[in-house]
Amino acid sequence: MPDRRACIVGGILIGAAALSGALVPRRMLAKELPPLKLESDVSPQFSGWKIDEAIVQIMPSPDVQEQLNKTYNQILSRTYVNEAGQRIMLMVAYGEDQADRTTVAHLPDGCYPAQGFAISPGPSTPVSIQSKPFSVRRLVARRNPRVEPITYWTVVGNEAFQSDRDRRIARLRSSLAGIIPDGMLVRVSSIDPVEPRAFALHDTFISDLYSSLSSSVRPRIFGTLA
C-alpha cells in the first residue's frame, strides 16, 4: 500500500501544478487592439512645442540596448522646445507583455540611481487635464550640478498608475483573469534647479500632449482618463 503521506504530498503537488497552469495568462490584450506606432502617433509638433533638432540623441551602449529590446516593443525618446526656449524631454516606452517580470516597465525610481543619480520625492500634486485630475509620480534626480525634475506614470491595460504597488495589483488581477496586459511608461523631465517652475512646465506639456493625441491613442498613453 502506498505511503499515505506520500499520496497527500503528491496530491498537493498535482493540485498546485493544475492551479498554476490555470493561472497562466492566455489572452494577449495587445493583439486585440489597434497597432501602436509611437513615432507617428505622437506628433513632432503640437501646441507650440516642436522637436528640438539641435539636440543630438545619445544612443545607449549595445548591452543596454539589448536589454531595452527585451523589455520594450517600442521606445520613443524626444526633446521638445517651445517658443520661449524651454525644453522638455519625453520618453514613452511600450511593452506588449506586462505580465512577465522580465518585461515589465522599469521605473525611474530604480533606473536613475543605477546611473549615479540621487533621487528625492517631488510634490504629489496631480496634473489638471481638461479640468480632470490626473495622478502622477514626481521625483527630483541630482548628479553633480545636474538637477532633473521628473514626472512620470505607468499604464497597465487601460489603467494609469503612479503607485508601483497599485501597478503590481493590476498586473496580478489581469493574470488571474487570464489576460496578458500591455503597458506604458511615460516620463517627462527637464533640466532645471527651480523645481516648482519645472513641474509647472511639465504640467503644461502633459496637458498639451494629451490634447494632441488621437482619441484611439489617448487611452493607451493616459489610461482611463481618456
Q: By the 8 A CB rule, do 202 and 111 touch?
A: no
Share of the chain above pLDDT 70, in %: 79
Cβ atoms of residues 59 and 75 within 8 Å: no
Cβ-contact 132, 85 below 8 angstroms: no
* 18, containing H or E segment: helix 4-23
4-35 pLDDT, tens digit per residue, is 443 333 333 333 333 344 456 577 777 878 88
- Cα separation, 225 vs 132, whole angstroms: 8
Report which DSSP code applies to 193.
S
CA distances from 30 to 27, 34, 184 (A): 9, 8, 12
Largest CA distance in the chain: 85
- Whole-model pTM over 0.85: no
Strands 179-180 and 27-28: parallel
Radius of gyration of the chain, Cα coordinates, nearest whole angstrom: 21
Q: For residues 158 and 217, what is the distance between their CA atoms, to the nearest angstrom?
A: 11
Residue 161 three-state SS: strand
* Average pLDDT score over the chain: 83
Q: Would you give per-residue pLDDT tens digits along the chain (226 residues)?
A: 444 443 333 333 333 333 344 456 577 777 878 889 999 999 999 999 999 988 766 655 566 566 666 778 999 999 999 999 999 999 999 988 877 665 567 889 999 999 999 999 999 999 999 999 999 999 999 999 999 999 999 998 878 877 778 777 877 777 777 778 888 999 999 999 999 999 999 999 999 999 999 999 999 999 976 4
Q: What is the DSSP letter of 34?
A: P
